[in-house]
Amino acid sequence: MNFSLSELTLDNVGQWPKGIKIGVVVFVALLLIGMGYWLIAKENFEQYNTLKAQEIPLKSDFEIKQFQASNLDAYRNQMVLMAERFGNMLKQLPTQNEMPGLLEDISKTGISSGLAFDLFAPLPEVSHDFYLELPIKVSVVGNYHQFAVFLSRVTLMDRIVTLHDFLIEGVSPDKQNTNPGELLNMKMTAKIYRYRTQ
């Protein structure tokens, strides 16, 4: 049978040619699949992709937190140990009324090491987060052995003293009363620290 398009109506669907019926069914199926994807599945796929992108950082975060949780006791022990060490270090920082005695100890250490002081000048304190730093300009005259004894004794003090900006020069011949070239002048900055109370 030959049908023209004008003869195809919904009333005679049963009499349509087989090829046209298959074409209409395929078109309606594709239309329903397209509309279903656009209205229902597309949003779910986008949400799936978003969640898939979040999975890697969340897994990584979970693994870090799981590792921390499994090592919680070790972290607590480490915190106790660090607090104890910090407390011991704070004990090495002198209080305000101990500063003059510490300055005197450094000076006596230099003299007992055989050094002659040309300069021992405390500078203004420098404020830091939880401590104050007192720099001292020091200039001493002696030989290498005396310098070494002095520096080693300063490092053995029970307070924290750091030494910076070393400069060692020969002493001019007119100031030397021993063998020429034996005496040297060492200039440096010593820094002592104290705990900041406020």
The pLDDT value given to residue 93: 64
Q: Let me know the angle formed at the C-alpha of 21 by 15 and 26, rounded to the nearest 5 degrees.
A: 165
Residue ranges of the domains in the chain? Answer: 1-70, 96-195
Q: pLDDT tens-digit profile of 55-75?
A: 888 889 988 888 888 888 888
For the chain, the distance separating the N- and C-terminal CA atoms, rounded to the nearest angstrom, is 105
Rg of the chain taking only CA atoms, in angstroms: 43
DSSP string of the chain, one letter each residue = ----GGG--GGGGGGS-HHHHHHHHHHHHHHHHHHHIIIIIHHHHHHHHHHHHHHHHHHHHHHHHHHHHHTHHHHHHHHHHHHHHHHHHHHTS--GGGHHHHHHHHHHHHHHTT-EEEEEEEPPPEE-SSEEEEEEEEEEEE-HHHHHHHHHHHHTSSS-EEEEEEEEEEPPGGG--SSTTT-EEEEEEEEEEEE---
State the pairing for strand pair 131-142/184-195. antiparallel
Q: pLDDT tens-digit profile of 99-123?
A: 677 778 888 888 888 888 888 888 8
Q: pLDDT tens-digit profile of 82-95?
A: 888 877 776 666 66
* % pLDDT > 90, the chain: 2
What fold, for 96-195?
Answer: Alpha-Beta Plaits (3.30.70)
Q: Which long-range contacts (CB under 8 A, 24 or more apart) does 15-20 make?
A: none
The pLDDT value given to residue 90: 66
